[in-house]
């Protein structure tokens, strides 16, 4: 059963005391909203880029406006993989991320990493499309997916 596998994997991560693996496991299963928020906020400050990236992906599943404000600072992370994850997470919020549109445009044009530039281009489009749809009365709030 899938649930049994999840519990076994979760137990392995907890026993191994690998918070990054633990958070990643919950994120893969789409269950990151079950995790406590304060430890995830602390992981954003980790020296370990993989921990910061795992925390970003988990926090993105919260699906609330706090995500945009919380992750905005990581748009300028020293590690390109972290910047990329932050752009994806914030960009999913469409018009709610509109305050970062210029940042995304700058990243699209100037970031040293090609993947970050490509994801930033996607985020600019997401925000623009969402803002246009809201302006046209097509939607009242962005749809946020966890994948």
Token output for 122:
């996607």
Task: Give the separation between CA 98 and CA 35, rounded to whole angstroms.
Answer: 27
Torsion-angle region of residue 41: left (phi > 0), alpha (psi -120 to 50) or beta? alpha
List all residues 6 or more positions away from 69 whose beta carbon is below 8 Å from its beta carbon. Answer: none
H/E segment holding residue 146: none
pTM for the full predicted model: 0.75
Q: Which residues of the chain carry a pLDDT beneath 70?
A: 1-18, 29, 135-147
Residue 95 is encoded by which pair of tokens? 């018009």
pLDDT score at 1? 46
Dihedral sign, CA of 73, 143, 36, 122? negative
pLDDT of residue 7: 53
């Amino acid at each position: 059963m899938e649930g049994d596998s999840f519990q076994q994997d979760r137990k392995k991560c907890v026993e191994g005391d690998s918070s990054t693996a633990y958070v990643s496991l919950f994120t893969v299963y789409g269950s990151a909203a079950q995790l406590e928020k304060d430890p995830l906020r602390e992981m954003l400050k980790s020296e370990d880029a993989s921990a910061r990236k795992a925390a970003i992906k988990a926090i993105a599943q919260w699906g609330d406006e706090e995500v945009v404000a919380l992750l905005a600072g990581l748009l300028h992370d020293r590690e390109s993989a972290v910047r990329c994850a932050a752009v994806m997470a914030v960009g999913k919020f469409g018009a709610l991320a509109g305050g970062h549109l210029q940042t995304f445009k700058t990243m699209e044009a100037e970031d040293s990493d090609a993947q970050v530039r490509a994801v930033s281009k996607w985020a600019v489009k997401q925000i623009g499309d969402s803002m246009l749809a809201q302006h046209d009365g097509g939607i009242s709030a962005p749809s946020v997916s966890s994948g």
